[in-house]
Structure 1
Amino acid sequence: MSAEAAAQLIPNGCTVGMSGFTGAGYPKAVPKALASRIEKLNEVGERFKINIWTGASTAPELDGELAKVDGINMRLPFQSDPICRAKINDGTMDYIDIHLSEVSQYAWSGFLGKMNIALVEVSGILEDGRLIPSSAIGNNKTWLEQADHIILEVNSGQSSGLEGMHDVYYGTALPPNRKPIMITNPTDRIGEKYLQCDLSKVIAVVETNAPDRNSPFSAPDEVSHRIAGHILDFFKREIEIGRLPPELLPIQSGVGNIPNAVLEGLDAGPFRNLTGFTEVIQDGMLKMLKSGTMTAVSSTAFSLSPAAMQELNDNIDFYRERIILRQQDISNHPELIRRLGVIAMNGLIEADIYGNVNSTHIMGSRMMNGIGGSGDFARNGYLSIFVTPSTAKNGTISAIVPMVSHVDHTEHDVKVVVTEYGLADLRGLSPRQRALKIINNCAHPDFRPRLLDYFERACASGRGMHTPHLLGEALSWHQRYEETGKM
């Protein structure tokens, strides 16, 4: 049926599990048709809102369109849309920020309530009813199983060559019935190439032909190159010491220009036969596969520029032999991250002098995007590396502060902090040792003397020498920015 007819089947107040992960594999037509329907209802004074669960962020055609007409009541577990973000921060949209590995468990355990409809993009439907997954799996397996009803968008705009790239595992269970997940190498396949679907629950099939949202990455700037250089030098030292093998360990990289620059640095570096165990494949990893620097990648979705997407589609047979797409409760699973010894590299908003990291909130209160999968990998990875420029907003904000205004990753999970000024290896250091390492190695020179002054006065205060703080000043940098526009 048409997208407009399918949108009529979604009732007010229901919960819809939608496909999509970082702008890949999200439904393209029905959300826009639903937004148009809501807009017409708003014009006659009728309020219409739904709850939306996804894999991660989606695209303007989904989050943006529905947020614009005030059609979202509750959103989880991750978003990156500016309209959505504004609604969350002005209190007109509720938002639950969840570790991505836990979303499926939350749904299966009933923590989030009932899912009424699954709205899932697929690449095709086989005669026996199995579904060919699209460019992201995310939580689609769980949504198809949990929902009372299913709406499928069959997108012929996705490459037919995606068929066979996926590995959907149906062996998960809730406690106390869980069994080990038998992956010991990123290349291991343990599941099926297709999604199972109860055809009796399908209430609509909508045909589409539309590309994913593909945002270009900025060319790496000097700051990104310097950050990448520090990480490459660190890896070389770890290999010399014997703490990393020559081919490193499976790489996880968050999305963004700086992580992408690090991947490009790895591609140009001395390392070979690398592997990836990550949640998103972006341009840098595709280039590493093409050059042979990386031999295989396990992920749950793509996040590619238009040029990289064209490269993927043009050489899909080559990449299908080297890429495995899994559901996100496997791609982000703590058991697998710990077993494989993943090297996790993610961005941050701010870090404090003791190594606590805020990756979600601006000035403590305003949500940016969400924790995503960074917590899954930071807590369980062999190495957890957080990268950031040392300042933001033209130097008015320091990324290194006395105390973070919100904590997503505690000092216990943060092993390495990197800025363009240097790298702080925090392993085996006490809090006071970490503070000096972070200040001296990572802080911008304009802020370094004030951070040292704060730390020295906190040590001299007599309040306690394990983690010295001046409580009356700990968040004064943030307050100063709120009042004056600079820290």
Structure 2
Amino acid sequence: MLSRQDLDFTGLVRPGDVILCGQGTAEPLTLTRRLVAQKDAIGPFTCFLGVCLSGTFAPELTGGIAFRAYGAVGTSAALSRAGRLDILPWHYSRIEGAFASGELRADVVLLQLAPPPAGRSGWSLSLANDYVAAAARHARAVIAEVNPDAPWTRGAGWEGREPDILVAADGPPQELQPARFGEAEGRIARHVAGLIPDGACLQFGVGATPVAALSGLRGHRDLGIHSGVIGDVCVDLIEAGAVTNARKPCDRGITVTNTVLGTARLFRHVHDNPDVEVRRAAHTHDHRTIAAIPTFRAINSAVEVDLTGQVNAEVAGGSYVGAVGGQLDFVRGALAGEGGRSIIALPATARGGQASRIVPRLETVTLPRSDADLVVTEHGVADLRGATLSERVTRMIGIAAPAFREELARAWRDREGRHAA
């Protein structure tokens, strides 16, 4: 097993290569930092990124590297603002299959593996059972960072080819601290709690609003989790007895996720835990699997929502700041199931109250109005299920910040007047 100092990318990466890096807390920091340090000796190449939590790929450190990503989530938003991130606007569920079929190409794959604990065998993909394994099957070179501080997780066994090079990690995995939330998110959480019955199965995204919403569920019972991501707040719910997964028809008793984004506390919880499985997106994001779970609640956030219920979760101020991600996968799966609902939760304003996040119309649509269900702000809940356009407008204005309601109503009247003319 090599050390970081012994790893020479100049003999492994060719000019013009596409390098796929593990994402989020699964970023192999020892490898990515070495890659960036040697970039000038390698020649021009492209990195494909997912969620970024580290500062490894900061614009000022990565001149000469081209970047592609399925979104601008986390620190990669700085690359987006600098005009250096080429976005692949795909549903997250499609990416794994595209790398498996060769539709998407990766010449070199950098990933993080956890060694087995005593009594276990085989590497684990640890904190993300995502598209890296599929890409590795077709890559020219697979380089794995072996990190003894990464949790060995169930459901995420490494079944791909033997890595060409193993490198010892020189530090613990990247962490993500729980998002802090304020008064607005706290009020949103109280509204969301009233929409989630005991026994519901939850999916949720990242950020202050989902964390606040989950924090308000400690008094619930027999909740389940089937999500693309879990964070430290999930440990809070499990320890409080709120999450048991007892009523799920599949994976009963098991918290299911595709990625683990949190701190060392969460890593300790998932390590060799039979009650947690880190599964492929083909399972976590599968429409049929989600639809088969009754009383599913898909809880997602947004940059802005228009008066008809359309959601933008990708662009703010003309810059990419989010992703298509798995939102539509979970929303459609939830709405197809018995008693399932979709909840889009967001503060009513941005920029310190200077801008409304309920808007007359959108330029970027992540979730179409045909999939609109429940929209929640600190000012209330707009139930758009079965509502006509005019009914939706009234309900959406009702949950906008009071200072913007007349402006929104006037904008809609003007729009309808132009259409009538």
Shorter-chain-normalised TM-score: which range?
A: 0.7 to 0.9
Preserved CA contact (<8 Å) 2:28 2:173: no
| Corresponding residue SS for 1:260 | helix
Residue matched to 2:251 = none
Deviations 1:77-132 (A, max 9, x none): 234344x43433443342223211110122233332x3212211101279999422
| Corresponding residue SS for 1:74 | strand
Q: Distance in 1 between matches of 2:116 and 2:4?
A: 18
Preserved CA contact (<8 Å) 1:390 1:400: yes
Q: Distance in 2 between matches of 1:350 and 1:262?
A: 18
Instruction: Identify which of 34, 45, 63 aligns with 1:50.
Output: 45
Pair 1:74 & 2:77 matched = no
Residue matched to 1:383 = 341
- Residues 153 and 311 of structure 1: CA distance in aligned 2, closer, same or farther (over 3 Å): closer
Residue matched to 1:411 = 369
Identity over aligned pairs, percent: 23
AA partner of residue 346 (structure 2):
T
Pair 1:344 & 2:261 matched = no
Q: Distance in 2 between matches of 1:218 and 1:320?
A: 25
Q: Distance in 1 between matches of 2:100 and 2:304?
A: 34
Pair 1:16 & 2:19 matched = yes
Instruction: Identify which of 177, 190, 207 aligns with 1:256.
Output: 207
Preserved CA contact (<8 Å) 2:100 2:137: no
Residue matched to 1:423 = 381
Preserved CA contact (<8 Å) 2:136 2:142: yes
Deviations 1:237-285 (A, max 9, x none): xxxxxxxxx412x2001001111111111113xx211100001111221
The structural deviation recorded for 1:432 is 1.3
- Residues 406 and 282 of structure 1: CA distance in aligned 2, closer, same or farther (over 3 Å): same
Residue matched to 2:240 = 291
| Corresponding residue SS for 1:446 | helix
Gaps of 5+ in 2: 245-253, 335-339
Q: Distance in 1 between matches of 2:368 and 2:112?
A: 36
Residue matched to 2:126 = 134
Please tell me the root mean square deviation across aligned C-alpha atoms, in Å.
2.5
| Corresponding residue SS for 1:386 | strand
Q: Distance in 2 between matches of 1:101 and 1:298?
A: 15
Pair 1:324 & 2:277 matched = yes
The structural deviation recorded for 1:395 is 1.3
The structural deviation recorded for 1:428 is 0.7
Residue matched to 1:190 = none
AA partner of residue 106 (structure 2):
M
Instruction: Identify which of 355, 375, 388 aligns with 1:397.
Output: 355
| Corresponding residue SS for 1:231 | helix
Q: Distance in 1 between matches of 2:243 and 2:146?
A: 32
Counterpart mapping for 1:40-189 below 5 A = 40-41=40-41, 48-54=43-49, 56-64=50-58, 68-82=61-75, 84-112=76-104, 114-124=105-115, 130-159=122-151, 162=152, 165-168=153-156
Residue matched to 1:275 = 224
| Corresponding residue SS for 2:172 | coil
| Corresponding residue SS for 1:438 | helix
**Higher mean C-alpha deviation, range 116-125 or range 26-35:** 116-125
Residue matched to 1:195 = 158
Preserved CA contact (<8 Å) 2:97 2:134: no
Preserved CA contact (<8 Å) 1:15 1:115: yes
Q: Distance in 1 between matches of 2:21 and 2:116?
A: 18
Pair 1:459 & 2:416 matched = yes
AA partner of residue 310 (structure 1):
R
Residue matched to 2:9 = 7
Q: Distance in 1 between matches of 2:174 and 2:214?
A: 22
Preserved CA contact (<8 Å) 2:203 2:227: yes
Residue matched to 2:319 = 366
Deviations 1:180-206 (A, max 9, x none): xxxxxxxxxxxxxx212323xx33110
The structural deviation recorded for 1:219 is 4.2
Preserved CA contact (<8 Å) 2:179 2:211: no
TM-score by length of 1: 0.76
Q: Distance in 1 between matches of 2:121 and 2:196?
A: 47
| Corresponding residue SS for 2:300 | strand
TM-score by length of 2: 0.88
Preserved CA contact (<8 Å) 1:124 1:133: no
Preserved CA contact (<8 Å) 1:15 1:51: yes
Preserved CA contact (<8 Å) 2:107 2:141: yes
**Higher mean C-alpha deviation, range 449-458 or range 425-434:** 449-458
| Corresponding residue SS for 1:205 | strand
| Corresponding residue SS for 1:345 | strand
The structural deviation recorded for 1:462 is 5.0
Q: Distance in 1 between matches of 2:292 and 2:61?
A: 43
- Residues 221 and 93 of structure 1: CA distance in aligned 2, closer, same or farther (over 3 Å): closer
Q: Distance in 1 between matches of 2:87 and 2:415?
A: 36
Residue matched to 1:183 = none
Pair 1:224 & 2:175 matched = no
AA partner of residue 255 (structure 1):
V
Preserved CA contact (<8 Å) 1:28 1:61: no
Deviations 1:51-81 (A, max 9, x none): 3335x3133254337x732243231223434
The structural deviation recorded for 1:351 is 0.5
Q: Distance in 2 between matches of 1:167 and 1:401?
A: 42
Residue matched to 1:172 = none
Deviations 1:206-251 (A, max 9, x none): 0014223223234442211211111122335xxxxxxxxx412x20
- Residues 71 and 272 of structure 1: CA distance in aligned 2, closer, same or farther (over 3 Å): farther
Q: Distance in 2 between matches of 1:2 and 1:108?
A: 30
The structural deviation recorded for 1:28 is 1.1
Preserved CA contact (<8 Å) 1:7 1:30: no
The structural deviation recorded for 1:361 is 0.5
Residue matched to 2:27 = 26
Q: Distance in 2 between matches of 1:211 and 1:78?
A: 25
